[in-house]
């Protein structure tokens, strides 16, 4: 029996795999590559909302192995110089569930769960882990 450390790449899975590092400042729409298996480091100068790409774009970027039940993660780091918050919003077909706000000098992890891959109806739920805006993931 193989251990998890011997499995190698798991397409569209949590880990191991490739990760995108995104540097974002103020309110922005993330690209598909920045919306899954990504670390988003925000340095906003005013209250910001980072909106994911549409579910259809994220599912397309994950690739042919993407199916209902595929999971991925996004970590949002708030490196603002003052008490500024970042809110994570969902693009078309992406529902954000749980606390979506990241306080200054904190990070928050989100787990994405693909709920529909049918063309024209693609859907993802993005679950914010932790119960408060200052949760450190």
Measured at the alpha carbon of residue 103, what is the angle toward residues 100 and 108, in degrees to the nearest 5?
A: 50
Residue 7 lies in a domain: no
Residue 102 lies in a domain: yes
> Tell me: the pLDDT tens digits for 48-72?
999 999 999 999 999 888 999 999 9
pTM here is: 0.82
Residue 74 lies in a domain: yes
Residue 5 lies in a domain: no
Burial 62-78 (b: 16+ CB within 10 A, else e): beeebeeebebbbbbbb
Residue 3 lies in a domain: no
How many domains is the chain built from? 1
pLDDT on residue 65 = 86
Residue 1 lies in a domain: no
Domain housing 121: 16-128
Rounded to an integer, the average pLDDT of 23-28 is 86
Residue 9 lies in a domain: no
**With contact defined as beta carbons under 8 Å apart, do 64 and 98 qualify?**
no
Q: How far is the C-alpha of 129 from the C-alpha of 68, rounded, in Å?
A: 20
134, pLDDT greater than 50: yes
Cα 79 to chain centroid distance, Å, stands at 17
Say which residues have a Cβ less than 8 Å from residue 64's Cβ, sequence separation at least 6: none
97, pLDDT greater than 70: yes
Residue 40 lies in a domain: yes
């Amino acid at each position: 029996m193989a251990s998890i450390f011997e499995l190698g790449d798991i397409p569209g899975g949590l880990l191991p795999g490739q990760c995108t590092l995104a540097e974002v400042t103020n309110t922005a729409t993330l690209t598909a590559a920045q919306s899954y298996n990504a670390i988003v480091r925000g340095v906003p100068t005013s209250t910001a909302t980072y909106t994911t790409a549409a579910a259809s774009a994220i599912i397309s970027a994950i690739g042919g192995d993407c199916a209902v039940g595929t999971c991925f993660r996004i970590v949002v780091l708030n490196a603002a110089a003052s008490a500024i918050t970042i809110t994570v919003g969902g693009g078309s077909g992406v529902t954000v569930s749980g606390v979506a706000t990241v306080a200054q000098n904190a990070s928050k992890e989100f787990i994405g769960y693909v709920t529909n891959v049918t063309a024209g109806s693609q859907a993802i739920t993005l679950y914010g882990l932790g119960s408060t805006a200052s949760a450190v993931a």
